[in-house]
Amino acid sequence: MSQSQGKFEEFFDEIDPLIFWSGVGVAVAFIVAYVVSPTVTVNGTETKLLAKVITDANDWLWSNLAWFYLWAMLIFVGFTAFLIFGPWGKIKLGGEDVEPKHSFMTYFAMFFSAGIAAGIVFWGPAEAIYHFGNGTPLTGEGASAQAKMLGSLQYTFFHWGISAWSAYLVVGVPIAYFAYNEGAPFRFSTLLAPIIGVDSIEDSNWAKLVDVVAVFGTMGGIATSLGFIGQQLLAGMDYKFGAVPGKVDVLGVVLGDLGIIAVITGVTVIFTLSVVSGVERGIKRLSQLNVLVFLALGVVVFLVGAPFFVLNLGTQAVGTYLQEFVSMSMFTGTGSGDAGFVGAWTVFYWAWWFSWAPFSGIFLAKISKGRTIREVTFVGVIATTLATVPWFMIVGGTSMRLQNSGAADILGAINEYGIAVSGYPLFGALPGGALLSALFFLLVITFFVTSADSSTLGIAMLTTGGEEDPSEINRLVWGVLQGLVASILVVIGGTQALQNAAIITGGPVALVGLVAVYGMIKTFSSEHGRVLVQEDAAVRGDDMLIGGRSSTSRDAPTGAEED
């Protein structure tokens, strides 16, 4: 048998046909719909019928179901807090004798890069300045520049703080627990284990349906992330080298729709192929590089920008964010004229986190063996938030200060080139702007690589029923399909279409997340708290019986080992 035949045999052996072909079918149907979709006129502007259908579906969702997205996320945040401070935090994933494989910093870097994806690079310099120019529900007519800055930064913290990460934890923790402590597979449907039983996961129709939902949601999340970073890559080249603002004029060549599709898809596939090397050599090294460049850029911008202004504004914004967290979490905008803002921003973000949860949760579970639930939850929510908030504080605060003082016209650049360009005029206006812009462009590229690698790994895992090292062919298939879907979304509606896709695909995943919360409560409440009586009658208060046996006496299941 030739090597190529062996690879194809490996590919067909590993996939779960129903889940894999369902995902492929949805992606191909979307691509075909774009090709055959006629052009219609909406508000005097010609657009693809496909874009109108997506927009109409999105508008209906956030107009009628905003409450569901908001309640689901608040429940996830509340349950995550209980895992940190409650008694279940002592449960160790894999048994008491198992030690973590990765150091704390490597563990943090891997999850941070995979969980936040490229969004932090896109929205870091974009969100606060956009709110500053367009307003938020926290700032009314005639508000001062200072009030606008405060409200803009507060909403940015809200969208990228503890809520963003909590959606991943309610997926990652139960999958890790049932995989390492009960021998379940690494698949999204493992969340149903408390309801259907571990032994039924492989054959249950409900489990397969849940896995299809995971693929559907993850496709939307991945396409959104790749689309954002692809836009940013093209916008940077257009801003630096182009001659026609907003026309994606790169090195004298104006890219049409097919050109944009070819560039984003091509880059996605190239990066996917270049790093198909597993967790250790691929995601691990790139994650470490991402964090280093990310930290270096943030520190330099802080020092050469307006450090005291940023600290004063950021401190107050953190305080108001924490003080008004619950009211912001429940704000739908109904009756106040702000429903559109909530739909376009908060509901979009919550749905985006939901759609990323299947992959990020499974990835978190995979690297968390040997850690307690409290450790996993602390790293996955608190540590990541402590890394995210300063970035938005520094970049967003500096951006608004430069705009307000007249040192840079970032909003003008956004009006010409689109919101994806916001980072380039920001970093270019600072001392050492050429170097900072180059570092920022490097960060865009490295996060694109990480996103392409980790996201295709994630969706390939989902379509194989939990295979920890999917074949190269599987990942290549998803690299091509995801690149095409992302680039088509960019072409038919840009940032708005990407946001719409996330809202549409994230809702079903949130439903499964609520089931996961119920399952954890059901399982942990029945198995936690019983002490192990030793032969000498000594009682070890910190020990617990997991599934009727001591966690110290059961080995990690062979099928759940890490790479």
- Beta-bridged to residue 546, according to DSSP, are 549
Task: State the 10-residue block means of pLDDT for the chain, 563 residues long.
Answer: 69 85 88 82 74 84 90 96 92 87 83 72 90 89 90 95 92 92 88 91 88 86 77 77 57 64 74 55 64 85 93 96 95 81 91 88 88 92 90 94 93 88 91 87 76 74 76 83 83 74 85 94 76 35 36 38 39
User: Cβ(68)–Cβ(510) under 8 Å?
Assistant: yes
Would you tell me how many other CB atoms lie within 10 Å of the CB of residue 405? 11
CA dihedral 183, 187, 193, 198 (to 10 degrees): -40
pLDDT at 222: 77
Which amino acid makes up residue 170?
A: V
52 φ, ψ (degrees, to nearest 5): -65, -40
Nearest residue to 214 (alpha-carbon basis) of 28, 114, 352, 357: 357
Closest to 471 (Cα-Cα) out of 2, 1, 3, 15? 15
Q: What is the pLDDT of residue 496?
A: 74
- The two tokens of residue 122 are 């896109």
| pLDDT attached to residue 286 | 66
| C-alpha–C-alpha distance, residues 312 and 321, integer Å | 14
* CATH number of the domain residue 505 falls in: 1.20.1740.10
DSSP character for 39?
A: E
What domain range includes position 35?
Answer: 3-560
Q: What is the DSSP string of 267-329?
A: HHHHHHHHT-SHIIIIIHHHHHHHHHHHHHHHHHHHHHS-HHHHHHHHHHHHHHHHHTHHHHH
Q: Which amino acid is at 260?
A: I
What is the rounded distance in angstroms from the CA atom of residue 146 to the CA atom of residue 138? 12
Buried b (16+ CB within 10 A) or exposed e, 121-153: bbbbbbbbbbbbbebbbbbeeeeeeeebbbbbb
**Number of domains comprising the chain:** 1
